[in-house]
Structures are given as C-alpha cells and as structure tokens.
Structure 1
C-alpha cells in the first residue's frame, strides 16, 4: 500500500445546493467533516483538497487540510469528470512534494463517513491484495424497468423476505482507493482487482439534495454527539 494520499475534491459550483461544500453542517462547513475524518485516519499520510474556489480553500485550510495548488477552471465545470481532477492533483503533489503509492478519494458530500471507516476500508484493501476499492452500501430493493410490454423486475426472480435475499451493493461515493501507478496507466478508479468496503446506510449518506443536508446536520447534532 505504501504512502497514502487522501484527496478531497471540492469545486465551487453546485446547482443542487448552492455553495454546497461550505454550507454549515453541525456548526462547521460541510467539507470540514471529511477533512477531519481524513486527518484522523491512521491510514492516510497527507490530506489535500483540490478546489478552484478561494472560500473553499480557506475553509479547508481552517479544518487542517493542505491546499497546495489551484484547480484549473476547465476541471471545475459541471461536465468535468473526476479522473482528470485526480490526475491533476497527483501530478501537482508529485512535482511539489513527492510521489505517493495509493490514493484515497474522499467526497466532501459524505460527512458521516468516519476516520474508523477509512481505516477499516484501507485494511480491507490491504488484506484483499486489491488494486482498487469502492465503498458501497447494501441494497435489497426490488428494481423495475419499463419495456414496450409493460414493467418488468430487473432483479430477484420472486418476492422473498429481506433476510432471504442475497444483497446487492450500491456505490456510495464516500470513499475510493486506488493504486496510483495503475490509475495513471489506465485512467480508471476501478482498475485491476477491486475490493468492496460495506458502509452502513447512515455512514453512506451522500448529500445531493437540501433535505439530505438537513438530515446530516440532524444526525451529527442529535445522534452522533
């Protein structure tokens, strides 16, 4: 696994929730919860925030993260994919500091994923001898699709009790890990042998809509004190 770089991408633009990454959640900017989890994780050697936005950069530094470069505007649009953002961050850090062996991508929109989750995920990554890892949550939902002949079930051929269903897994967006040389060679976060790390439903919360921001605030203030 070697040296591990934690990367938190936080662009300034957000259409679903304006200025989402610096919206207050339990008394702190949203992104601060992920910065603090990364800093507290034993598995991560350095925590870097990639942003194009001065307010976000200031909030990230206040929370304890490094913000050693500015993200180019072309990598901060709605259409920009995450892979070039990661490549840019790796290159910037390597040129200014040193090369890292493993990257852990932490989305700021997952404030309920903890340092313990990060460490457990990286232990899973190591034990599985994996080249990449994806954080997921269990899902037992019946899924349907529309066809010209009517709706059809996409999974589970008959109705079963929840405990009798083999779980499916939904990508949470909370955490990814990847071997950096393999990522740079393939441009793919899920490269080589991929391991899964299962988060509980609460820890996997990904904030995309206003009520999810409210929910995260409520959980952190009244449940996870």
Structure 2
C-alpha cells in the first residue's frame, strides 16, 4: 500500500518544517526582522505551536541568529549545510535534509510534512489545522494554501518590443471581471503532503492537489519593504485580519 494512503488510517506523525535562510535580497535579515511586537519568524513558530495536529516543529536554517531565536522559542533547530542554503536551492532539499537528520538522530519519521514559510506572518494556527484537516480527509496528493488573484490573468499581456500580446483571446480579455472565472494563486503560507510524495514529485503541486483558500489579509507574503509596511498596518488594526 502506498505510504500516503496508509498514513490516513491512524493519526500520522505530522512534522512542521519552517525553512529560514539567513540571506535575503529584498529585505536584509528578513526572517528576523522585527514586525509589530516580534520577529518575522516568530509568527510562524507561534502559529505552529497553536496547531492541534502538529506532532513536532523544526526550523531549518543556515544562520546562527535565526537558530538562536528559534531555540529561545523552544523549537528544534536543524542547521542546513551551505550547499543547500543558496538562492537557487530547492525547499525540497531542505525537507529531505531535515527529515534525514531527524530519522538518524531521533529515529523520527513523519507521515506528513507541513511546510510553513516564515514570510507569511498573518497565517494562523486555525489556517494550519484547516489545511491539515483537508489533507487528512481527502484522497489527495497534497494541499496548498491559495488566495484570489488581485488582477485577473485573463487580462494579462506579454510584451514583444513594447507591443502588448494578450495571453488569451480578445473575446476573453474584453469580458467584465464578474463574467470571468475566479482565479487563485499560491500564497506561500502552507504546503501539506507526505514525504514520499514530496520527494517523488520534487514539490507539492500535482494534478491531485487541493486548495485551502485564505483571505487576502492573511495571505501577505513578505518579500519587499512594501509588504512589510502593509503587514505592520494590518497588525495595528486587528479587526482587519478577520
């Protein structure tokens, strides 16, 4: 029997991995940047700690400061080797490394992996549990969190020497927004799948992936100073986060 199916019978061991590299181009030291009343990574740590489903939480990092803050928050830290902590490194490499360390060191092998990127500070424990519940209750390969797109891709263009080339037919691009299909994008907050599937698939998305839909206010992905300013603004008004 395939591991993904077998793991659904009893509550599986569910591991949260928070991948947090030290390097960041858009915002220096982004993952430990203060935001409102704590550092960016602590929002993901606290959300994971509030989950009813997670068996264990680890932070995978190549950075001493991130490791220290994580340990202060009583979270297990796995130091990521430099060769899988570069800009071009895959998060799947970090998952394979973290799980192999846990197996070797603690004889711990999770049935389900939950990836929580530290750049999603608005995602809460309820979101994590809802995404995990969706995964456990359906025969799917994986679950990813998504939000509605800001702008319909049906109205998007590519450019050829400044000339606009519609991605879709003129008939579609002339339709009103309310007449177009709703479109969604990954928001980067939550990814759920079995370790077997993630390794074989080299990622979380397949043609049997389900979407956990989140509101835009909890879908902010901190990549630029503008994202950071928007998160600060929303956190100053808790009613905005409902």
Check whether TM > 0.5: yes
3-state SS of 2:83 partner? helix
Q: Displacement, 1:209?
A: 0.2
Runs of 4 or more, structure 1, over 6 Å off, are none
Count of aligned pairs between the two proteins: 224
Q: Could you say which residue in structure 2 is the equivalent of 1:166?
A: 181
* TM-score between both structures, scaled by the size of structure 1: 0.91
Q: State the partner residue of 1:91.
A: 100
Aligned residue in 2 for 1:146: 159
Residues 167-189 of structure 1 show CA distances to partners (whole Å, capped at 9, x for unaligned) of 11111111111111222334332
- Of residues 108, 118, 121, the one that matches 2:118 is 108
Compute the RMSD of aligned alpha carbons.
2.0
TM-score (norm 2): 0.85
Q: Does structure 1 residue 195 correspond to structure 2 residue 200?
A: no
**Which SS does the other structure have where 1:202 is aligned?**
helix
Range moving further from structure 2, 28-37 or 81-90: 81-90
Alignment of 1:128 with 2:143, yes or no, is no
Mark the runs of 5 or more structure 1 residues left unpaired by the alignment.
none
Please state whether the residue corresponding to 1:8 is helix, strand or coil.
Answer: strand
State the 1:33 CA deviation: 0.2
SS in 1 for 2:92: helix
Matched, 1:60 2:70: yes
Structure 2 residues without counterparts, runs of 5 or longer: 1-7
Could you tell me how far 1:222 is from its partner in structure 2? 2.4
Most deviating of 118-127 and 182-191: 182-191
User: Is 1:205 the equivalent of 2:220?
Assistant: yes
